[in-house]
Amino acid sequence: MKYYIIAGEASGDLHGANLMKSILKEDPEATFRFWGGDLMQAVGGSMAKHYRDLAFMGFVEVLMNLFTILKNLKFCKQDITDFNPDAVIFIDYPGFNLRITEWAKEKGYPTHYYISPQIWAWKEGRIKTIMEYVDMMYVILPFEKTFYEDKHEFPVQFVGHPLIDAISEHKQIMPETFKSKHDLDDRPIIAILPGSRKQEIRKMLKVMLTVVDDFPDYQFIIAGAPSQDPEFYAPFIQKQGVHLIMNETYDLLSLSNAALVTSGTATLETALFKVPQVVCYKGSYISYQIAKRVINLEYISLVNLIMDKPVVAELIQNELNPKRLKEELSKIIDDYNRAVLFLDYYDLEKKLGGKGANDKTAKLIVESIQ
């Protein structure tokens, strides 16, 4: 059977690749066409668009790139028509994907949505589109099932979180091997995860690096995003003791003592690796002011949202400054605070359910088509 998959971000590329592998277990003759990245490409099939050409962050940025977005929507509809799939699978990326779900459903294509848009945070009105045009929603956070079924009476499948599989399958690298490979010394590591989009990296990384001189007993390593070239980071790594390592984030996290992390999926990945973290977020002034008025959440990090309490520190907008960053980083390298945090991290993993999110989703999708 033929599957058309749309993933518009780096995290979607990871989950899309693993879902494709699971679909192949159920349907060995599966053929894929997709919007995604290098991980999905490695599984097989043909790529329609790379996610690095799709990432527009914030209200202002979207408006500035509106023509490109409309052009991509038109291309996507024609591309689906030409491929004529047995199912269209959407992975998060709601601004784009929800527009395609409406069109795809009306054209008679089965629509499957893996990883719900965060409509519980903002734009709850999108539930109408989902209820009308999505055949099945596969949710990965426990409170999402309650949100959909209890509040909106829309049945969904809670399949668990795919990051549990991705991280459990990660092969541990030896510290000596990693340090030798990247010319590192024996000081403990603080990882810096500044995001995957150019806009957010520019906003966050400069501030994150201000604390380097305050912690001379540690070495700081930037996790380079696969969507960016190493040259892009060059202006940010002039400080002594700062390293850049591309496309090895899981290896880096597995050996890190602490991390500074841009809000997003990476906060959950860091927690599942049991690494103490400070969550950072800074957007453009206009985007932040708009977001403040439309997003009704007590927390921004997935860790705190799932646990429904402040497990990790969140430094947002003006709070993300050198002084506050130094204060919070000092706390998470303290042994007592780390011990408390580890207990919360173990509870977090329990809440996310067990392994097998991709396998469960693939089985349900294939069975529905058959």
Q: For residues 240-246, give the mean pLDDT.
A: 88
pLDDT score, position 68: 77
Q: How far apart are CA 27 and CA 29, in angstroms?
A: 5
Residue 305 burial (C-beta neighbours within 10 Å; 0-12, 13-18, 19+): buried
Question: Across-strand partners of 7?
Answer: 91
More confident residue, 353 or 108: 108
Q: Is 239 helix (H, G, I), strand (E, B) or coil?
A: coil
CB 9 within 8 A of CB 37: no
For the cut 60, the answer to whether the pLDDT of residue 160 exceeds it is yes
Q: Quote the CA–CA distance of 284 and 286 in Å, as a whole number.
A: 6
Q: What is the pLDDT of residue 79?
A: 98
Range from 296-300, 301-305, 323-327 carrying the lowest mean pLDDT: 296-300
> pLDDT category, 343, cuts 50, 70, 90?
very high
Q: What is the mean pLDDT of the chain?
A: 91
222: CB partners within 8 A, 6+ apart: 192, 194, 205, 233, 236, 237, 242, 243, 244, 245
The Cα–Cα gap between 130 and 124 comes to 10
pLDDT reported for residue 121: 82
Q: How far apart are CA 93 and CA 322, in angstroms?
A: 32
Per-residue confidence (pLDDT) for residue 9, from 0 to 100: 86
Asked whether the predicted pLDDT for residue 209 surpasses 60, the reply is: yes
Q: What are phi and psi of 24, to 5 degrees?
A: -65, -30
- pTM summary value: 0.81
| 198-202, 245-249, 250-254, 357-361: segment of lowest average pLDDT | 198-202
- Rounded Cα distance between 366 and 370, Å, is 6
For the chain, list the domains and their CATH numbers: 2-161+355-369 (3.40.50.2000), 169-351 (3.40.50.2000)
Quick count: other Cβ atoms within 10 Å of Cβ 237?
18
Which one-letter DSSP state was computed for residue 139? E
Residues 6+ apart with CB under 8 A from 39: 13, 14, 16, 17
Three-state DSSP state, 345: helix
Distance CA 261, CA 195 (A): 8
Averaged pLDDT, 196-208: 88
Copy the structure tokens of residue 168. 């459990």
Per-residue pLDDT for 289 more than 70? no
Tens digit of pLDDT for each residue in 35-52?
999 999 999 999 999 998
pLDDT in tens, 60-111: 455 556 667 788 999 999 999 999 999 999 999 998 999 999 999 999 999 9
